A and B are shown apart, each in its own frame.
Chain A
Amino acid sequence: MSQADIAAGLGVSRQTVIAIESGRYSPSLPLAFRIARFFEIPVDEMFDPQEEVEA
């Protein structure tokens, strides 16, 4: 699945998908839930704030 496909599925730009993937942007709660639903993964598995603190 391409970044453009994911962007279209989430209703955001390709640049935003890239920014989230690279950790340069933290999505809002509604977008985080949309992403989790899109990938059919619980939101707390998809985004782990502890991981960012440790990094």
Chain B
Amino acid sequence: MRVFGRSRFVAPVVVLVAGTVIAGSIAIGHTWSDAAIAEVVTAFLSIGYYAMTRSDSDIGAVYGNRADERQLQAVSRASRNAMIVMLAIAFVGAVVAVAMNDAYWQFDVLGSVGGLSYFISLLIYGSHDESTKGPTDLMSGQSN
């Protein structure tokens, strides 16, 4: 499992699976020919992602699942920026939809789930107080 976890195939396979699911929904809701086009585009995207995993760059390392600590830090910052942009778009979308008297629940769901995920992530990854009232002895790694 760990071998697959660090494999260069993860990102291309995720793209391929996600694109195939979207192509399936297009086949159900639209036409088979539209679905075929979506699948071809997905295949090209997946190949593109695989090609990117070979590049000797930060992006290649991240998509190729071989990121080191600095690159993981970049991933963390990029994820934060991406979430801020998504929340901003959800906010603007909700405002515009409400102003146009249109359905706004999609934007509400995006914003709420994004905000809740942020809060839960802080709880999970934040430092937890272990009630060290006295002075802490960092040298021995123990607290009084």
Contact = CB atoms under 8 A, between A and B. Distances in A.
Nearest to B58: A15
B70 A19 contact: yes
Contacts of A28: 69
A52 to B, nearest CB: 17
Contacts, number: 27
Contacts of B69: 12, 16, 27-28, 31
Contacts of B70: 12-13, 15-16, 19, 25, 27
Interface of A: 11-16, 19, 25, 27-28, 31
Given A11-B68, A13-B66, 9 more contacts: A14-B56, A15-B57, A15-B70, A15-B71, A16-B70, A25-B70, A27-B69, A27-B70, A28-B69
